[in-house]
Chain A
Amino acid sequence: MKIRLKRALFPPKGLPPRSCIQLVISMIKLTGLNKSFGKHIALQDINLSIHSGEIFGIIGRSGAGKSTLLRCINRLEEPDTGHVYVDNEEITHLKGLQLRKTRHKMAMIFQHFNLLHSKTVYDNIALPMRIQGLSEATIKQKIMELLPLVELSEKLDAYPSELSGGQKQRVAIARALSTSPSILLCDEATSALDPETTDAILELLKKINQTLNLTIVLITHEMDVVKRICNRLALMEHGKIVEETPISDVFNNKDSIARSMLYAQLSPELPQCIQRNLSQEPDDRLPLVRIFFEGHGATVPFISKTSRDLNMDINILLANVDRFENLTCGVLIAALSTNGEHLQRFIQQCEQHNLTVEVLGYVTSDVI
């Protein structure tokens, strides 16, 4: 196994020393992957390394190639060129029994669950174990172990049609875990679920990542999913990885697309009555600004201080706060009481405090 221990212990000059020693073991490595379907290029020169025990999120719009990328990892899709390494073993050209044995080390869950409707929960969970030829006694023992983890103890003899979407995904997760894989591939696993069920399934994924030290690769089009459970993310556009970053670093990089996506997701919608009356012409109207803040860029002292300094009223209309890993960040939308030169000075103040500010438009005072 390739362990970057040396670098972790003795960081080269120029790199900040790490506060704690991290062992980074590569679980999945993709180099130079290309894949096209006829004229459509699905993957373009993909290079990616996914560490053992992390939750790695691949985010992108539909058609960005993330689904193809995920399927290259267990070779459900064959890359045209490039190499796939799993656990430091090249699997790009494996065939037959060897490929099947490699697939036994990985498991996959799907957007539409892909459970067998003709079989009970028990038999569905047992399926991969039967495929691997385990004895019925072992299978039973393993299922009994798994049931409390996925909270399905009472549904053992139910058929999938009798279950809710969340329960179906729990069965699929139990089925995936039954053969003790080291990698779990999640294909839009929460996209067909309602928000509360999504929360519960994400919690479950986080739990199994921690308790079983399972490497999880998930693809999604929702920033919310990535932000909630991933350690690192890759952003895909038109078959390319355009950004790859640890979640905790997203905010340090002003040019990060992931950062703007996080903000967009965080930013509350303006109420209809304000939206309708929003004008781009200042005239005698009041400016409406959106301010993003993060970490120690604590806003409330900033707002009250700026209000005093510039002798203006700052009327907070909407605000939202969230936490990513250990970083608090938020957004607020406020109306300022004065215009023109004061607005310019306000923007300067924001920039001095490292806050991202944007003027949404101007509204008449009777609207707010």
Chain B
Amino acid sequence: MSPVMLYDVLIATAATLYMVIASTVFAIAIGLPLGTLLFSSDKIKPNPILNKIIAAIINISRSIPFIILLVALIPFTRLVVGSSIGIHAAMVPLTLGAAPFFARLVDNVYRSMSEGLVEAGFSMGASSWQMIKHILLPEATPQLIHAVTVTAITLVNYSAMAGTVGGGGLGDLAIRYGYQRFNLPVMLTTVAILVIIVQALQMIGDRLAKRLSHT
């Protein structure tokens, strides 16, 4: 591999990491409140209409294949970022693709918690917000970290697809050099780097969750 090629690989790796980390953060920012609202509208302060609306939004957006979402969101992306190509443009569909996925995971995490905890909170006269702040979030933290790990790894996958529509990053590199120009070393290198990124994310997530878990 030439030094120029190596430089391209490094740049692409940095771009992928940047895309994944930033869109994970945005996906959490949208997905955590959405998932919490989905759970609380069912179990804490029942509101069947709100619950069904949120569930519908999550289900519909999760059923759209990511590659279609990527293309369908182009006008919206242009509106937000000002361009439909490049690393920042890719972050819009990545965030919107991962947020409902993360919201569903958050809901599942709460559901796997003992119902008795919510009951105990009610018996203490906690308000909905107190229930979330004092009981749900602290008790779910280790499981929520696992959910973040799964989401980040899914975003590594999605970011490769985003590369095909000009998003940049390792996926873009693998397709342009590896697939279209039959450059096997570049292809293998990108795959190896992706494997390392996924392994690292999983390891960091597991360690963090373990440190915060007291069970």
Contacts and interface: CB of A to CB of B under 8 A. Distances in A.
A128 B122 CA distance: 10
B127 A100 contact: yes
A161 B214 CA distance: 7
A268 B112 CA distance: 43
Nearest to A126: B134
Given A112-B116, A161-B215, A103 B123 contact: yes
A283 to B, nearest CB: 57
A116 interface: yes
Contacts of B127: 100
Choose among B123, B130, B134 the residue with the greatest number of A CB atoms under 10 Å from its CB.
Answer: B123
Interface stretch (B11-19, B135-143, B156-164, B187-195): B135-143
Task: Say what secondary structure dominates the interface of chain B.
Answer: helix
Contacts of A161: 214-215
Contacts of B135: 116, 127
B114 interface: yes
Contacts, number: 65
Contact of B125 (A112, A114, A131): A131
Q: How large is the interface on B (under 10, 10 to 19, 20 to 34, 35 or more residues)?
A: 20 to 34
B124 A114 contact: no
Nearest to A159: B214
B130 A131 contact: yes
Interface in B119-154: 119-127, 130, 134-135, 138-139, 141-142
Contact of A107 (B124, B139, B212, B215): B124
A117 B139 contact: yes
Given A159-B214, A161-B215, A114 B119 contact: yes
Interface of B: 114, 116-117, 119-127, 130, 134-135, 138-139, 141-142, 212-215
Top 8 A-B residue pairs of the complex, sorted by shortest distance between their CB atoms: A103-B125, A100-B125, A108-B123, A114-B120, A159-B214, A114-B116, A128-B124, A118-B138
